[in-house]
Chain A
Amino acid sequence: MAGLIEASGIGVALGGQRILEDVDFSASAGELVGLIGPNGAGKTTLLRVLTGLIEPDAGTVRIEGAPIGELTRRALAQRLAYLPQDHGVHWAIAVEDLVTLGRLPYRKFATPMGAADREATADAFRAMDLCGFKARPVTELSGGERARVLIARALAQDTAILLADEPAAGLDAAHQLELFALLRRLADDGRCVVLVLHDLSTASRFCDRLVVLDHGKVHAAGKADKVLTSKVLRSVYGISAYRGRAGGVPIVVPLKSLDAKPDGRPRGRNRS
């Protein structure tokens, strides 16, 4: 299966510091891929390179086979939705107006919403359990409610590729479960979903594949049980962890922080 996203040899340096070095990454339709790694490993930077927000110093990114630089912003927005981690909302606009922004890439100048636009936004409202919130100003919502509104905005964009940076941050347990079940369904329906995650249990439970970044390089990649070995956990995070199953789902519980990683390098760069 050809990858919807194909990135190869990605190198990024910001302010003289190497953030990513020779990173290869690909994700296909029907796949839910988790990007994991310690703080400052370069996960968010990689995601931003894949969205075209950062131009890499080295390497190429192809979206649906086309070099990302050859797509117009609008064409890219019809293929790829991105949900950043710290998403500010600058005016107290109504929830419905904000979610509807997801349809902008499809709408011509000064035309009202079409049937497809209405359907996509209605689906997004249902999926994020927001039907009672439509008229509320976004700024008056709680953090978790606002996170759901922003996810709904990305869902309304209705793209083949969805990239999200810690989408569950701020969500309560029930909404977290619902969100990951939804993202799983989106992947099963043939979309390509790439998530930056910190919770290792969630990552191993829902993702088809994990990519572990450390110090700007791909440390390991593959299925969760192959990737989240005690050796990888020790060398990347500097932790020992309990790995097992509970209620039929895989869990990874960090147990102890080991003093230093085996290679003697400092843990992460605390750059986030």
Chain B
Amino acid sequence: MSGLALSAERPARALIGYKLLIAALAGLVSLAFCASLFAGPADVGIGAVLRALVTGSGREAETTVLIAREIRLPRAILALLIGAALGLSGAALQGYLRNPLAEPGLIGVSSGAALGAVLAINTGVASGFVLALPLGGLAGAFAAVLIVQALAGLRGGPLTLILAGVAVTTFAGALMALALNLSPNPFAALEMVFWLLGSLADRSFVHVWLAAPVIVPGLALLLILGRDLDALTLGEEGAANLGVNLNHTRLLLIAGVALSVGAATAVAGAISFVGLVVPHLLRPLVAQRPSRLLLSSMLGGAGLVLAADICVRVLTPDSELKLGVLTALFGAPLFFYLVIKTRGKLI
């Protein structure tokens, strides 16, 4: 079933296989990160970008330094962080809910962030103050998660969490529709819609400084969930009997997803399918172990978003395609394929 499943005779092989997988993914992410620095509408050579990044002055023209340091580097860092947040959150949620269809938006974080950002545009605050948009998004994400947590209760199981998430997502969607409906002018409406599509264009280090301190602790919270998620393979009672405090697990999970995906959506808008598809693709490579899916999905998500962000710049340099549109365009057919493959197994 899986090429990396444990071998009976040499149990150490899987570990090396896992380490190789992580190394390979890390290599791919590094490559994609570098490629992201060199991709863009401005025709700047690889050597020039490197010199501009390292020295920041010297023979390079001021514009080259500006492009490399202020446009491409923050964009690559954001793609890395956001992809990592989406991939890891997807893997953690799928492990916790024991459902391969779970995705980071399930617990209301993304729609809360989107609503916050839309309100910032709608009220006009965003036009006066650059950070109003991402800050509104963050506030929306956290508000949504607090409501979900309050609705689901401290001791509720996965089902109450899903129901609370669906309720909050639906309500946030309704409020977003209302905001669009009541938008002060067509331009504001267009701005909202475009923002919702998800993009990393025109982001700067201000966005990195805003998002990174929120995303990174969120990633850390999710990465330590490995053993709890492994134990949950045996269901909630099985996990409890293995010494797992499930209330604790759920709190860490919700906090981790809220921080990482909340901040990611707040700076980049909704980037769909990454959190759903990446754990799906990597699961067979880690012999389905939920703990091993965490780090690998984090790297896989980072690589995928970096690659997608390069694609939008290379494919449509003039009228840049939105990143979220591209991930959805490629993610959805991939999902069709997965459905057909799974169906073949079930029948």
Contact = CB atoms under 8 A, between A and B. Distances in A.
Interface stretch (A9-17, A34-42, A103-111, A229-237): A103-111
Given A90-B233, A134-B6, A134-B8, A73 B243 contact: yes
A223 B8 CA distance: 43
Contacts of B5: 94, 135, 137
Nearest to B246: A73
Given A53-B237, A101-B242, A137 B1 contact: yes
A260 interface: no
B7 interface: yes
A92 B245 CA distance: 24
Contacts of B244: 73, 104
Given A77-B242, A101-B233, A93 B8 contact: no
Main secondary structure, interface of A, reads mixed
Interface in B1-23: 1-2, 5-8, 11, 14
A73 B236 CA distance: 13
A72 B8 CA distance: 34
A107 B231 CA distance: 12
Given A96-B8, A137-B5, A137-B288, A91 B243 contact: no
A160 B2 CA distance: 36
A75 B7 CA distance: 32
B4 to A, nearest CB: 10
A137 B287 CA distance: 8
A87 B1 contact: no
B254 interface: no
Q: Give the size range of A's interface with the partner.
A: 35 or more
A263 B186 CA distance: 80
Interface in A142-180: 153, 157
A51 interface: yes
A185 interface: no
A94 B287 contact: yes
A97 interface: yes
Contacts of A52: 240
A205 to B, nearest CB: 28
B63 interface: no
Contacts of B14: 94
Contacts of A109: 224, 227
Interface string B234-270: 1101101111110000000000000000000000000
A11 B14 CA distance: 48
Interface of A: 51-53, 72-78, 80-82, 84, 87-94, 96-98, 101-102, 104-105, 107, 109, 131-135, 137, 140, 153, 157
